[in-house]
Chain A
Amino acid sequence: MYSRLRRLPSFWIASVLLVLVLLLGILGSALAPHDPLAGGSALLQAPSATHLLGTDYLGRDVLSRLLAGSRVSILGAFEVAAIALVVGTIPGLLSVYLGRVFEWLTLRIMDTLIALPFLVFAVALTALLGNGLTQAMLSVGILLSPMFYRVSRAAALTVSSSQYVEAAVLSGGSTGWVLRRHIGPKVLAPIGIAFANAAGVGLVIVASLTFLGIGVQPPAPTWGGMLASDLGYLAYQPYAPAYPIVLIMLTVWAFNLLADVLRDTSGEAGRILLKKRALAKARRRGRRLQPQLAGRVE
């Protein structure tokens, strides 16, 4: 899989961006040049040598707050994707194997989850369970799980009716063994795509929730929260919302790009795509070489 991925430049772009974002998430607070919570009397200052991105409405360093806020935002995104993965994939795979009652039941549950608007549901759940990011992410993760349920179920359905799987079952392979040996590897690619997608969606949701002031304990900085407060001071710093917006956009874009790359390279279609690219490359190289060759001959 990796050998195929690394042949696409978009994979490298996505990975570099995501590694950078991940580093921000891990090291953000340590990299911050100032205390992200310490205010000063210099309010809403333009970028300067001491404050590279300026200061906010309480005189806090914006760069430090962006860096310190990345952990919550990125952690939240992964949390959503991971919860959705576990809650969606396991029943998705089992729905193919555990009989019609389980299948019918999980399908109806997933239909119900799809019908719920997740931002509203997350807001309601934080009101019920307390205003924490984990509570909000839990609810969003559960509501995002139908995506994994459907993807894994669809992949498992095609594989489970194939002859070699039927042969394995007839030879006495247990459900667990069949799932691990035959179904698992086949559904891995679509789930990987779904995961990258979910992480992107998750980041947007974390940003939206923190924008609304849900899931964070002030004055802890978050990207969405910074965006929300920046909007109140547009007359002073019209450019300020751009900082968190660019970070959010780049991260989500990288996740989506990764999802695209995974999709493009997986399965038979991926093999064809890579072969075509290789051929096109060879042809281009050949064309570029030809005039020189011709020159030499003459």
Chain B
Amino acid sequence: MTPPILDHVVGRRTLLTTGAASLALVLAGCSTTSTGTGASTAAGAATGTLSWASSYAPSSWDPVVNGSGAAFRITALAYASLTNTDEDGKAAPGLAESWTYNDAGTKVTFHLRPGLTFADGTALDSTAVKKYIERAQTQENSSLVGEGISVIESVETPSATDVRLNLSQPDFQLPLVLAQRVGQITNPSRSAAELNEKPDGAGPFTPVTIVAGSKATFVKNPDYWDADNIHIANVTVSFGADASSIVSGLQSGVYNFSDLTPSQVKAAKAANLDVVLQPGFNANNLSVNTTIAPFDKPEVLQALNYAIDREAIVKQIDFGYGTAATEPFPKGYIAYDPSSAARYAYDPTKARQLLADAGYADGLEVEFVVSADTPTNELIQAQLKKVGITAALKVDTNWATSFFAKKLALTTYGTTGRDSPIQTLQAHFGPAGALNSAGTEPGSAFDEAVATALATPLDSDDYEKNIQAATAAGLATTGLIFTDSLPNILVKTKAVSDLPRIPAYITWTGVTITGR
């Protein structure tokens, strides 16, 4: 189970051959001028400032508390994670350069790189990792409890660089689980309250100033384990910029990188900016709480399923950049179960019939409480109206509190996905899953399928089959109606070189910024 160790030279060669055009040019320039000096000298120099306009801000700079998948891309500036994922979505080394499982899959040992430290000199050793995992499991406001780490029964530290996790059941997903979302290791000498305000990790960048909800600035961290491949000197992240001002912000040079809504792609292309469709695991859904009337009637839930016109959402809201989704991941992903895909085709007549069968022939009035007035919510409201469901759209500023307390009958949610497909399934369908809208036990069929999938080694021939079975079992019990999946639409100026195409990640390894 030793993953391939990423060699810098190999990394460069791969990038050159895969034709990451601008990066290749820069590196080619380096090698001609720096007459045969080692990779580290050419790569060690960092220049330029990344000015990132982000539509999402971390609610907390403590990765244990921050629950938003998109915001982990921001905290990843400051924190290095135990593992990473590569361009194929497979586990890759991070702070841990390798890992070993016992044959039964009940014990996994992560081997840390030697000599890792945090910015204040505190050692990033096995004890720091142990403290982090225990904090993620026990801290009262931890958002990671339901995120695939409940199988960890105890953490041992056989040596300063070895962390052994003893598991309650065979689970081969942990190298994926302990990547960016769950495995951003924090400095144990900081309290949870301190981390809330300012991040302290061993990531590619060190925070300089953090203004909550407004701005964060970073400088390159020379002690990052992969610092040789970080070529950016400074990072400024601005939060809360209006979506309609992003393109002009990039044009005028206020920003040089941002995420983008589909409606702005046309403007960005017209402005001669680089629009990047970064692969991801995003999936939007209509969350139906099947414990609240009238959704406790199976016919009503079925009617909702038939009432959603996914193609219209893809065309109208995603401007053609998305795809219709029926599962919590996009089509083509390893856990995507083709047999569950066509369970409910758009059929408004059938939806009306089902509502009539449930005793709502004259229509049905429900509350539709959402986090923001988005075109998607308005379109779904209009689609429900077509089958006779009058959904009163209400924007609640405290939406998140009610949603995670599972008090909302009908709402919408979008996930950015997880590195481990089973983690995604557990988050959506598991009893402790944050996105399980009803919060009910999904039944033993799902539990069994998940246990089987967890116990399947990732390189086993049965892996794909078992994981898709778990997807099917989860979908069979859920009140979640998946609607569409968008790639991560990013926009950058020409000064920023191509980003590694790692699904769902924004990684700065190897990226250069030319010009100012």
Contacts and interface: CB of A to CB of B under 8 A. Distances in A.
B244 A232 contact: yes
Interface stretch (A161-169, A186-194, A212-220, A273-281): A212-220
Contacts of A48: none
A127 B244 contact: no
What size tier do the contact residues of chain A reach? 20 to 34
Nearest to A213: B373
A57 B373 CA distance: 13
Contact of A127 (B263, B264, B312, B397): B397
Given A41-B312, A235-B266, A235-B270, A217 B397 contact: no
A103 to B, nearest CB: 40
A292 B242 CA distance: 66
A234 B267 contact: yes
A37 B379 CA distance: 10
B212 interface: no
Of B375, B381, B382, B396, chain A has the most CB atoms within 10 Å of the CB of B375
Contacts of B395: 131, 213, 218
A132 to B, nearest CB: 10
B393 A217 contact: yes
A218 B382 CA distance: 11
Interface string B300-337: 00000000000010011000000000000000000000
Nearest to A236: B266
Interface string A69-112: 00000000000000000000000000000000000000000000
Interface in B372-405: 372-373, 375, 377-379, 381-382, 392-397
Given A131-B395, A218-B373, A219-B382, A58 B316 contact: yes
B375 A231 contact: no
Contacts of B381: 218-219
Given A232-B243, A232-B244, A217 B266 contact: no
A39 interface: yes
B394 A217 contact: yes
B244 A234 contact: yes
A244 to B, nearest CB: 15
Interface string B346-381: 000000000000000000000000001101011101
B462 to A, nearest CB: 44
Contact of A218 (B243, B267, B393): B393
A121 interface: no
Contacts of A235: 247, 263-264, 266-267, 270
Contact of B316 (A37, A43, A232): A43
Contacts of A127: 397
A184 interface: no
Contacts of A131: 394-396
B261 interface: yes
Interface in A55-73: 57-59
Among A57, A213, A236, chain B packs the most CB atoms within 10 A around the CB of A57
B377 A232 contact: no
Contacts of A231: 242, 244
Interface string A205-241: 0000000010001110000000001011111100000
Interface string A29-62: 0000000011101010000000000000111000
Nearest to A230: B244
A231 B396 CA distance: 23
Given A43-B316, A233-B263, A235-B267, A218 B377 contact: yes
Contacts of B261: 232
A41 B266 CA distance: 19
Contacts of B379: 39, 58
Interface string A121-138: 000000100010000000
Contacts of A234: 244, 267
Interface string B261-305: 101101100100000000000000000000000000000000000
**Which of B267, B312, B378, B392 is most buried by chain A, counting CB atoms within 10 A of its CB?**
B378
A57 B377 contact: no
Contacts of B377: 218
A199 B404 CA distance: 42
A59 B383 CA distance: 13
B406 to A, nearest CB: 22
A57 B263 contact: yes
Contact of A232 (B263, B378, B396): B263
Nearest to B372: A213
A38 B381 CA distance: 11
A51 to B, nearest CB: 16
Nearest to A38: B382
A57 B270 CA distance: 19
Nearest to A231: B244
A58 B382 contact: yes
Given A58-B379, A219-B381, 18 more contacts: A39-B379, A41-B315, A43-B316, A57-B263, A57-B375, A58-B375, A58-B378, A59-B316, A131-B394, A218-B373, A218-B378, A218-B393, A219-B393, A231-B242, A232-B243, A232-B261, A235-B264, A235-B266
21 contacts: A39-B379, A41-B312, A41-B316, A57-B316, A58-B379, A58-B382, A131-B394, A131-B395, A131-B396, A213-B372, A217-B394, A218-B393, A218-B395, A219-B378, A219-B382, A219-B393, A232-B261, A233-B263, A235-B264, A235-B267, A235-B270
Interface of B: 242-244, 247, 261, 263-264, 266-267, 270, 312, 315-316, 372-373, 375, 377-379, 381-382, 392-397
Q: Which 9 A-B pairs give the minimum distances between C-beta atoms?
A: A235-B267, A235-B266, A218-B373, A231-B244, A219-B378, A218-B393, A213-B373, A232-B244, A39-B382
